[in-house]
Amino acid sequence: MATSRKQMAIDSGASGASPTRKRKAGRGRSRRRRQDLRVVDGLLLLDKPVGITSNEALQRAKRLFEARKAGHTGSLDPLASGMLPLCFGQATKVSAFLLGADKVYRVRARFGTRTDTADADGKVVEESRITEVSQIALETALSKFRGNIQQVPPMYSALRKDGRRLYELAREGREVEREPRPVTIHSLDIEEYDPTHPVLRVRCSKGTYVRTLVEDIAAAAGTLGHVAALRRLTVEPFPDDGLVSLTALEQAAEAGGMEALDRFLLPIDAALDGWPSIYLTKDEAYYVRQGHPVHTRVADESGRVRIYDEARRFLGIGEVLRDGRLAPKRLFVEQPGTGG
Q: Residue 179 burial by CB count (10 A; 0-12/13-18/19+): exposed, middle or buried?
A: exposed
Catalytic positions, written as ranges: 77
